[in-house]
Structures are given as C-alpha cells and as structure tokens.
Structure 1
Amino acid sequence: MKILYVHFHDLPDEQFHARLLTLLAEYTPLVQALPPDAALADVSGSLRYFGTDAPALAERIRARTGGLYGIRTTVGVAANPMLARMVAADGPPSAVRSLPDDIDEVTAFLAGKPTPALHGVGPATARALSSYGLDSVGRISAAPLGTLQRILGVTAGRRLHEAARGLDPTPVVPSAPPRSMRVEHGFGHDELDRSRQRAALLTLTDRLGQQLRAESQAARALTLTVRHADRSTTTRTRTLREPTAHTPALTSLAYELHDRLALQRARVRVLGLRAEELIADELTSRQLLLDPDDERARRLETVADHARNRFGPAAARPAATAPHVA
C-alpha cells in the first residue's frame, strides 16, 4: 500500500477542510477525513493512472493546495497510516517526507524514536514502559511479546508489539459526511439550580454515550446548547481529546462547557447535547492507559449497556441522577 497522511496548516474554517478533501478526491476515492485539519489517502491504485510514484503525487497535492488556496501542507508517505503520520511529523512543516517500504529503513526510522511517538501511547503508558527501560521504539521492538503483555495486558501489549515493528493493519476508509447525534432535557420550568442542571447533564451524557455505543460510533466533538426562559439560546462546542463514546469522557467535557457558560443566575428551560463529527468506533485509536479505574468504568459501562438492551432503559442509570431528571 501507499498511504498519504496530509496535514493542512492554519485552516481559516471548517469549510476549507471540506474543500481540501474534495481536492484529494481528485487523486483517489479512498480519502478519510481527520478533522479538523488532516486526512488519510490511499493512493495505491492511483499511481499507474497518474504515471508517477507516491512522493511525486504527494508533492503535486502539496503544490496545488498552496497554489489554489494558499494553504501550507505537510504530507507523509508510507506503507500504512501509522508510519505516514510519523514520517509527516518528522521535520518542519510544509514538506513531503517519504519512508520507503524496505524493512531495514523502517526499522532504522523507528529505532531512535521516543515511545510516545507511537500513535496511541499516552504519558502513563510511556512512563510505565520507561520504568522497565523501554524508553524508545527500538527497545520496545526488541522486547519479547510476553514482556509487553505482562506490563500492559494481552491486547495492548500485542498492539504495541506490532506498532513498534512498523505494523498497522488499519485501512483507509472513505469518510461519509460527518453526522451528529443529539439528546436534550426540558425542565418544564425556569431552572436556576446549578446542581439540578448538572444532574440533567449527567443523564444526557449517559443517554448519549449509550446511543453512540449502540451504533458503534464515536464523537470527535461535543456541543452544549442552553435554551433560556426568554427563548434565547447559548451554544458552546469543544473537540474531545480523542474520539470517544465513553460516558465519563462525555460527562467531563459537558461539565466543562457548562462551567464556561457561567449560568449562576440564568433561567434555563432546556439543555441539549450534540455529539459531533461521528466516526465508526473501529476507526478510533484509544490511548493505551494504565488506569485501572478507567478500565473498570468501561467494563461497568458494557454491563450496563447489556442490562438496558435486555430489560429497558431504566435497568441501569447513573447513581448521581436525581429522580426529577430521570
């Protein structure tokens, strides 16, 4: 395969990203949007048609985005999405960088990289690995699979073992236009009590997370809409740290958005939450975290989802939810 990771710098607005995706689609139908400012493109089947190689095609794309729109673009060219991302980041912006398919060159490229350079490795995982002397991709690659699995667990250890060897089976999946999913709660009266508003938000994030997981979707962003007693509305949107359908992550961001609105004296009639820029859950790459509380919460979330599917929505709900917002 020949994969391009295309990073558009300093986009003025979201419409520009969509416009640049259309430009990429002129070179291959296999374009996966990575909002707000990047994309993956599989050009394996396009090279013969254009009569060129992948780095030259990438340079053509970079030149066109600059010439047509004045946008600086960095393109990484490699055999899979992970390597394309890494080689794109391996230097100053506004350039085309290519990593040959040769296994020796891939090994040499990865060997000196710090552990967090691997996509999906978070700070906690990097610290844990470093405590065992595994502070570079080269050292992780040399470690036995069993050692990594004892440190991180079976699945995460295997994933890291493959990544450290430059393996990434993730396909480039053409993106449908990002869609959204919305839930809302009406109070039926002017609600000034902040704690009741937050209880309603907890109910909403619980419902929203369940709906996302039921459809195997993850949200990249969350929007909070507040409708006031005078029928005016206030809206705030923020991008999540990583695409997720995990209720605690949605709740944390919803509370943060609520805090930023400073609604101490506001008379609130309706609270609405909208999960934005949805993508298939299988396309997400959750950070490898060594957080037993997080893993426990995810297991409980799965159990609660099964209970609701079998016995109905009331079978499981957040303990902190007040009865009047159930």
Structure 2
Amino acid sequence: MTDRQISILHVVLRRPGVAAPLAAEAYDQVLGLLRGITPVVEPLPPDAALLDVRGAQRYFGTDAVQLAEMIRVRALAQQDVDCTIGLAANPLLARLAANTSSTTGGIHVLADPEAARAFLDPLPVLALPGVGPATARTLGGYGLDTVGRLAAAPLPTLQRILGASAGRQLHQRARGIDPTPVATGTPTRSLAAEHSFDRDELDPVEHRRALLDLTHHLGARLRTGGQATGALTLTVRYADRSTSTRSRTLAEPTAHTPALTTTAYRLHDALGLQRARVRGITLRAEGIRPAELAPHQLSLDPVDDRNHRIEAVIDRTTTLFGSTGLTRASLRRVA
C-alpha cells in the first residue's frame, strides 16, 4: 500500500484539558480551517470530522501525515483546539485509530494491511461501530469477544447469529473493510449536550439522571431559540474509550422536555446497559427547524398543557436569573 492510498483522516477535536465537546460556534470555525486543507470534509458533530486528502496531497505536494501535522498545528494555533488524528486507507480504520488511542492528541497511522490486522485483532468487539453492549454479549456467548475472532468466524455463522445484513456488515468491519466514501456537505443543523461522570458510572439511575439533565438543557436551548428538533441521537462513551450510538426520529418535531426525555430514556434502554462502566453521555438534537414551521398535533391532555406552561415559566426565570432560577425538582439532589 502506497502513502498516497493512506488518505483518510478521522479528526477528533478537543480543547486542551477540557473533556466536553466544542461549542457549536468553535466547531464550525474548525470545520472552516479543515476545508482550507481539503474540500472533501464530512462533519461529524459535535467533536469530529472525516477528511479525504487525496487531492490535497497533490495540491500541497506532500503526504497525508504531513497534512495531518499541518492540521494539528493550525488548529492549536488558530483555534486553541487539540486534534487526535487517525490516518488510514478507509473511514473505519481511521476512526478506530483515532478513537482507541490511549492518549489525547497526536497522529495515529495504520499504514498497511499487516499493521491494520495487528491493530484490529486484540480490540474488543465493542470497538466496532454498530456494536453495543447487547450485541457484544450475544457474540461473547459464542466466544466472539474480540475483533480478531469475529474476523475469523465464517460469514454464515455470523449471519445466523445477527441476521443476513448485520452479519455481513460486521464481518467486513472486523476485517477492516469499509467502502463508505467521505460524504461532503454541511452538517445537519444540530445541538449537543454532554455529561461526563467524575468516575466510571455503573448505576443506571445515575445514567437516567444525566439524561434528564441533558434533555432539560437541550429543551431550554431549543425553546429560547424558537426551534424544534425532529430526532435525537444518544452516544454513550465507556471506560475503554469505545462508544455506542443510537438514534430515534420523534413522532413530531418538538422542544418539549418530557417528550425529549421519554425518547432519550428509550434510546438508553435499547442499548441494554447492564453494569456497563460509563464515562460520559452525549445527547444530540438533530433535524432542527423553526418551531413555527413544525407540524404539531393538538393535545387535550391538561397535564401536557400544564407542563408546557411550567416550561415557559422556567425558561423566563432562567433567562433572567441563570442557574439560580427555577428548575425541576427531579434535577435537584437531596443532601
């Protein structure tokens, strides 16, 4: 494999010493910087982007590693953003190289098939995109607990366990195969909020409390901006740096906190987290549109009407007094 074929970069963005994702404005500024290197940029909000630098290598007369170094220097100097960059021949390998790194910052290269195989084989199956704790437990029951064992399993066996389509896709990923192109364009209009736990959190009650806090803040930001969201995406980050992601389209676009909370809880329950060591939770509202343009089903439920009125009061007091204003009792901890 030549250096020219190592042309896909997965860039993870962080403020130095800060665990939370970038604010939306800072993220957009870094995207502009990346597009100054190559026009083939796929935004992955709230904290990453995928780049194809084949054309940029020809334009700058350099290789992909040097372009990655250029990105790190410019992002740190211009935006005070540190980049962890995975560099490989396809998006899957580049993402894994960046996200499974034990350190924040730096460039991690998978330069040839042998290096990719040596890197992939010992990883837990949870490291592969699309594999959550429930799927990992199912595969583990058959002794398929690492990517190497998954890659060595016969395709018909995986299809019997997971289904035809999912089995084929996972078999390819375990072998480091990913034909997905980098999709250019602007990101779907979205808002994100993240909760990082002080320690690895196993208690599902604390997971749900964090989700309630996130939906409260997302709902307030949507309502004060006169917006509604059409979908939610939940990303759970584990102690081993792997992640699980689930998305759900809402029945109708909304900024109503109880509706957001119900959907967030369903996404969380669908992951089947049983004693999982959770490091952080990110909730993203997607498909955002002006609230006045969003269709709305009228409700005759007095409880729903009361909740909307309560939200309006909380939003006004928060605008006036900040975090010292009113909030829901369920978000308060009892000393």
Q: Taking structure 1 as reference, are residues 170 and 233 closer, same or farther at Cα in structure 2, changes over 3 Å only?
A: closer
Aligned counterparts, 1:61-72, within 5 A: 61-72=71-82
Q: Which of 255, 258, 273 pairs up with 1:255?
A: 258
Deviations 1:55-109 (Å, cap 9, x if unpaired)? 1110110111111122111111011111111101223011011101x22221111
Q: Taking structure 1 as reference, are residues 323 and 39 closer, same or farther at Cα in structure 2, changes over 3 Å only?
A: same
What is the CA–CA distance in structure 1 between the aligned matches of 2:73 and 2:227, rounded to whole Å? 38
Identify which range, 122-131 or 60-69, moves more after superposition.
60-69
Does residue 7 of the first structure (1) align with residue 18 of the second (2)? no
What is the CA–CA distance in structure 1 between the aligned matches of 2:222 and 2:89, rounded to whole Å? 49
Does residue 86 of the first structure (1) align with residue 81 of the second (2)? no
Q: Secondary structure at the match of 2:9?
A: strand
The letter for the 2-side match of 1:98 is V
Deviations 1:220-246 (Å, cap 9, x if unpaired)? xx9546999xxx999998962146344
Q: Secondary structure at the match of 1:82?
A: helix
Give 1:178 shift: 2.9
Gaps of 5+ in 1: 181-221, 260-274, 280-312
Give 1:45 shift: 1.6
Does residue 133 of the first structure (1) align with residue 126 of the second (2)? no
Gaps of 5+ in 2: 16-20, 191-216, 235-244, 263-283, 289-294, 305-335
Give the greater-gyration-radius structure (CA): 1
User: What TM-score does the superposition give when structure 1 sets the normalisation length?
Assistant: 0.60
What is the CA–CA distance in structure 1 between the aligned matches of 2:58 and 2:222, rounded to whole Å? 55
- Which residue in 2 is equivalent to 1:16? 26
Does residue 45 of the first structure (1) align with residue 21 of the second (2)? no
Give 1:250 shift: 8.8
Give 1:44 shift: 1.4
Deviations 1:131-152 (Å, cap 9, x if unpaired)? 1000000000000000000100
Q: How many residues align?
A: 227
Give 1:277 shift: 3.8
Aligned counterparts, 1:310-325, within 5 A: none
Q: Taking structure 1 as reference, are residues 119 and 226 closer, same or farther at Cα in structure 2, changes over 3 Å only?
A: closer
CA contact (8 A) 1:224 1:258 kept: no
CA contact (8 A) 1:178 1:276 kept: no
% of aligned pairs identical? 44
Q: Secondary structure at the match of 2:149?
A: helix
What is the CA–CA distance in structure 2 between the aligned matches of 1:245 and 1:97, rounded to whole Å? 33
User: What TM-score does the superposition give when structure 2 sets the normalisation length?
Assistant: 0.59
What is the CA–CA distance in structure 2 between the aligned matches of 1:8 and 1:244, rounded to whole Å? 22
The letter for the 2-side match of 1:93 is T
What is the CA–CA distance in structure 1 between the aligned matches of 2:187 and 2:170, rounded to whole Å? 31
Give 1:254 shift: 5.2
The letter for the 1-side match of 2:107 is V
- Which residue in 2 is equivalent to 1:169? 179
Q: Which of 99, 112, 118 pairs up with 2:110?
A: 99
What is the CA–CA distance in structure 1 between the aligned matches of 2:259 and 2:285, rounded to whole Å? 17
- Which residue in 2 is equivalent to 1:244? 247
Q: Taking structure 1 as reference, are residues 81 and 247 closer, same or farther at Cα in structure 2, changes over 3 Å only?
A: same
Q: Taking structure 1 as reference, are residues 154 and 245 closer, same or farther at Cα in structure 2, changes over 3 Å only?
A: same
Q: Taking structure 1 as reference, are residues 3 and 161 closer, same or farther at Cα in structure 2, changes over 3 Å only?
A: same
The letter for the 1-side match of 2:258 is Y
Q: Secondary structure at the match of 1:85?
A: helix
What is the CA–CA distance in structure 2 between the aligned matches of 1:45 and 1:31, rounded to whole Å? 12
The letter for the 2-side match of 1:143 is A
CA contact (8 A) 2:126 2:136 kept: yes
CA contact (8 A) 1:76 1:97 kept: yes
- Which residue in 2 is equivalent to 1:150? 160
